[in-house]
A and B are shown apart, each in its own frame.
Chain A
Amino acid sequence: MKSKAAYLTPYFLWIALFVIAPMALILYQSFFSITGHFTFANYEEYLSSSVYLKMTFNSIWYALIITVLALAISYPTAYLINQLKNKQLWLLLIILPTWINLLLKTYAFIGLFSQNGSVNDFLRFVGLGSHQILFTDASFIFVATYIEIPFMILPIFNSLDELNPSLINASRDLGASNWQTFRRVIVPLTMPGVKAGFQAVFIPSLSLFMITRLIGGNRVITLGTAIEEHFLVTQNWGMGSTIGIILILAMFVVMFLTRDRKNRGGQIR
Chain B
Amino acid sequence: MKKKFHLSNLYLILVFAVLYLPILYLIFYSFNAGKTMDKFTGFSWQHYLTLFADTRMISIVINTVIIAVLSALIATLIGTFGALGIQQLRKRSLRNCILSLNNVLMVSPDVIIGASFLIFFTFLGIKLGFGSVLLSHIAFSIPIVVLMVLPKIDEMSQVMIDAAYDLGATKWQALTRVVLPAITPGIFAGYFMAFTYSLDDFAVTFFVTGNGFSTLSVEIYSRARQGIDLEVNALSTLMFVVSLLLVGGYYALTRYNESKKIHRARAAEEEISQ
- Direct interface between A and B, CB < 8 A: yes
Kindly state whether residue A55 has any CB partner on chain B within 8 Å: no
Interface residues of B in 179-199 (CB under 8 A from A): 185-186, 189, 192-193, 195-196, 199
State the CA gap A98–B22 with chains docked (Å).
11
Cβ–Cβ contact A112 & B22, under 8 A: yes
Kindly state whether residue B243 has any CB partner on chain A within 8 Å: yes
Cβ–Cβ contact B107 & A207, under 8 A: yes
Chain A residues positioned under 8 Å from B193 (CB to CB): 95, 151, 154
A interface SS class: helix
Chain B residues positioned under 8 Å from A151 (CB to CB): 193
Taking the nearest CB of chain B, how far is it from the CB of A207, in angstroms? Answer: 4
Taking the nearest CB of chain A, how far is it from the CB of B144, in angstroms? Answer: 7
| Set A14, A199, A227, A260: member contacting B112, Cβ < 8 A | A227
Give A162's nearest chain B residue, CB to CB: B155
Cβ–Cβ contact A111 & B38, under 8 A: yes
Chain B residues positioned under 8 Å from A96 (CB to CB): 240, 243-244, 247
Question: Contacts A88-B251, A100-B23, A196-B151 hold; do A114 and B103 have CB atoms under 8 A apart?
Answer: no
Kindly state whether residue A181 has any CB partner on chain B within 8 Å: no
Cβ–Cβ contact B101 & A20, under 8 A: yes
Chain B residues positioned under 8 Å from A263 (CB to CB): 92
Cβ–Cβ contact B101 & A19, under 8 A: yes
Question: Contacts A95-B192, A107-B37, A264-B154 hold; do A7 and B111 have CB atoms under 8 A apart?
Answer: no
Give A22's nearest chain B residue, CB to CB: B116
State the CA gap A146–B19 with chains docked (Å).
7
Kindly state whether residue B152 has any CB partner on chain A within 8 Å: yes
Interface size on B, residues (CB 8 A): 90
Chain B residues positioned under 8 Å from A237 (CB to CB): 115
Question: Contacts A4-B88, A99-B199 hold; do A228 and B111 have CB atoms under 8 A apart?
Answer: yes
Kindly state whether residue B267 has any CB partner on chain A within 8 Å: no
Cβ–Cβ contact B111 & A227, under 8 A: yes
| Set B81, B119, B139, B220: member contacting A104, Cβ < 8 A | B220
Interface residues of A (CB under 8 A from B): 3-4, 7-8, 10-12, 14-15, 17-23, 25-26, 73, 76-77, 80-81, 86, 88-89, 92-105, 107-109, 111-112, 114, 116-118, 146, 149-151, 154-155, 158-159, 161-162, 192-193, 196, 199-200, 203-204, 206-207, 209, 223-224, 227-228, 231-232, 237, 240-241, 244, 247-248, 250-252, 255-256, 259-260, 263-266, 268-269
